[in-house]
Amino acid sequence: MAIQKTSLVEIAIERIKSYIFEEKFKPNDKFLSERELVEQLQVSRTVVREALISLQTVGILHVKPGGGVYIAVPTLDSISTILKHHYDTYGVKIKELLETREIIELGALNLIIEKQIDVDIDSLIDINESYYQTIIEKQDAKKFDRIFHQSLIKATKNETYYHFSEIIHEYFNLAKIDLIEKETALIQAYNQHLEIIEAIKNKNLQIAQNIMKEHFIPIYNFINRLEEKA
What CATH number did the domain enclosing 173 receive?
1.20.120.530
Q: Which of 51, 71, 91 is the last residue of a domain?
A: 71
26 lies in the same domain as 97: no
Tell me which residue of 195, 221, 217 sits closest to 208, measured CA to CA: 195
Alpha-carbon 166 to chain mean position: 3
What are 165-218's pLDDT values in tens digits? 877 776 666 555 555 568 888 999 999 999 999 999 999 999 999 999 999 998
pLDDT band at 75 (very low <50, low <70, confident <90, very high): low
* Shared-domain flag, residues 10 and 107: no
79 versus 128: the higher-pLDDT residue is: 128
Span 87-108, average pLDDT: 78
Last residue in a domain, options 71, 86, 117: 71
Predicted confidence at residue 178, as pLDDT, reads 52
- Average model confidence (pLDDT) for the chain? 82
Q: Are residues 112 and 213 in the same domain?
A: yes
Helix H or strand E segment including 51: helix 45-57
Whether 52 contacts 38, CB under 8 Å: no
Residues 84 and 40 in one domain: no
Give pTM, 2 decimals. Answer: 0.60
171 CB-near residues (< 8 Å, 6+ apart):
83, 87, 92, 97
* Residue 216 CB partners (closer than 8 Å, separation 6+): 98, 102
Tally of structural domains, the chain: 2
- pLDDT at res. 117: 93
Most confidently modeled range among 104-113, 141-150, 215-224: 104-113
Same domain? 123 vs 25: no
- 30, β-bridge pairs: 70
33 and 98 inside one domain: no
**Average pLDDT of the residues in 103-112:** 95
Q: Are residues 66 and 99 in the same domain?
A: no
Which residues span the domain enclosing 65?
A: 5-71
